Structure 1
Amino acid sequence: MFARDIFRLIFLSLMVPLLAFVLSAPATAQSKPKPSAKVLRQGQKIFKENCQVCHQADAIGKPGVAPSLTNPEFLAISSDKFLERTIRDGRADTSMMPFAHLGRSKVRAVVAFLRSHEKLRYRAKEVDAQPDARGDARFGKTWYMNICSTCHGSDGNGYESEGAGTAIGLPGFLDKVSDGYIRETVKVGRSNTRMLPFKGPTALAALTDREIDDIIVYLRQAAKK
């Protein structure tokens, strides 16, 4: 009996600190410190100097020129990595030039400024963790041409084809986003823009999950040709 009690004490003395570490680690990893007022001011200044000419004041966007970067639905599903890569690398074959010359800290300051406009729950991690689309590109082409091409162009070139929507068919976009990101954008849309939802009771066109995946597969295959 005595030996069993000794073993239990030793076991607890080892496990309690380990358990405390395990429980505290996720909280530390998940708690992202808010940027300082100085960083936000810097981000706003850099945005005005480099981005406002196309994206307008407070990044509300301009139809046919540049999308809104402070749209609630956009910020909710856009990861910092996605935003930073887009600013750094730009979008080839569009008017969105690369801003790698700003350097990492300034790019992150711009992202922090954009994030300060968040209104919806941040869901980028769970959205990007969604499974890859499994659909039929042949059907996807039909849905795309009949529904999406009006705004995004028959080749997915968006504004470059005088469309009202962004260039969702170009590698510069598709290489940076997950299938979950595209899926959620199609389903939910973007409030106060021409990008209406395509799923649910208020949808412009009631697309099924399979039909949305068909479109995603089509876009990815077409971009490789």
Structure 2
Amino acid sequence: MIKRKRHLYSVLALCALMGNMAEAADPAKIEQGKQLYAQNCAVCHQADAIGKPGFAPSLSNPEFLSLASDKFILSTMRDGRPGTGMPPFSHLGREKGRAILAYLRSFAKLPDRSAQVDAELESHGDPRLGDQWFHSICSTCHGNNGDGYAAGGTGTAIGKIGLLSKASDGFLRATIKEGRSNTRMLGFRGPKALANLSDQEIDDIIVYLRTLAKQQESAK
């Protein structure tokens, strides 16, 4: 059974990779996406998609593009991020959304790992310890409740359901461990990291973040 699951994950990863390569390899679609991006996205994320600290995150960041699946990016465009400055762009439709996606993929500099991280096991841990770690090292940038820019933070709204409903535990885990180059989001794993967290401590933080999403879901 384990071997069959591993084989399935390998097939899914290969399919995702081939799909992303096809998107990025179509020059006409990339050019269309560039124009659509300029019309709809550049006002917040800047003309070069590098983002603006405290206002909108980078969409051309290599670590982000390596970890974010097509589904993650497309659904974020479609639904926006409730509770943040990111409105939904569902009016663009699927084809225009895919054109913007192809343009963003043209910035990619690292191998696509989205299927790999999304297939990782869910986090298990102690949300109380995660709460302590979050308020010790994460809230400085992301706000006390993970509200991000809305709370005056320099980091994104990692405590909002708009992100947490789309991001897998593997996506969150890799982001916390590795950080995002050329941003204020530093890695938190390893001797040279901002805080050398263990794998379990990182999972505790993720479990805590999931409790924030559940609270927001219950409040609807």
Please tell me the TM-score bracket, short chain as reference. Answer: 0.7 to 0.9
1:79-101 superposed Cα distances (whole Å, 9 cap, x missing partner): 00000000010000110000000
1:138-190 superposed Cα distances (whole Å, 9 cap, x missing partner): 00000000100000000110000010000000111000010000000000000
**Structural mapping, 1:123-134, within 5 Å:** 123-134=113-124
> What is the identity percentage for the equivalent residue pairs of Structure 1 and Structure 2?
56
**Structural mapping, 1:126-165, within 5 Å:** 126-165=116-155
2:110 counterpart (120, 140, 147): 120
1:62 aligns with 2:52: yes
1:98 counterpart (76, 88, 113): 88
**Structural mapping, 1:1-225, within 5 Å:** 29=15, 31-32=18-19, 33=22, 34-225=24-215
Paired AA for residue 48 in structure 1: A
Comparing 80-89 with 29-38, which one deviates more in the overlay?
A: 29-38
**Unaligned stretches of 5+ residues in structure 1:** 1-24
Please identify the structure whose Cα radius of gyration is greater: 1
TM-score, normalising length from structure 2?
0.88
Partner of 2:76, secondary structure, is: helix
Cα distance in 1 for partners of 2:134, 2:191 equals 20
1:11-61 superposed Cα distances (whole Å, 9 cap, x missing partner): xxxxxxxxxxxxxx99x9564434421111110001000100100012000
1:99-141 superposed Cα distances (whole Å, 9 cap, x missing partner): 0000100000001000001000110001001100001000000
Paired AA for residue 116 in structure 1: S
Cα distance in 2 for partners of 1:173, 1:195 equals 16
Cα distance in 2 for partners of 1:98, 1:202 equals 38
Partner of 2:81, secondary structure, is: coil
- Cα RMSD for the two superposed structures: 1.5
Paired AA for residue 58 in structure 1: D
Cα distance in 2 for partners of 1:138, 1:220 equals 12
Corresponding residue pairs, total: 200
Structure 2 CA distance for partners of 1:181 and 1:31, relative to 1, 3 Å: closer
Cα distance in 2 for partners of 1:99, 1:202 equals 39
TM-score, normalising length from structure 1?
0.86
**Unaligned stretches of 5+ residues in structure 2:** 1-10, 216-220
Cα distance in 1 for partners of 2:18, 2:131 equals 42
Cα distance in 2 for partners of 1:31, 1:103 equals 23
1:51-84 superposed Cα distances (whole Å, 9 cap, x missing partner): 0010001200000000000101000000000000
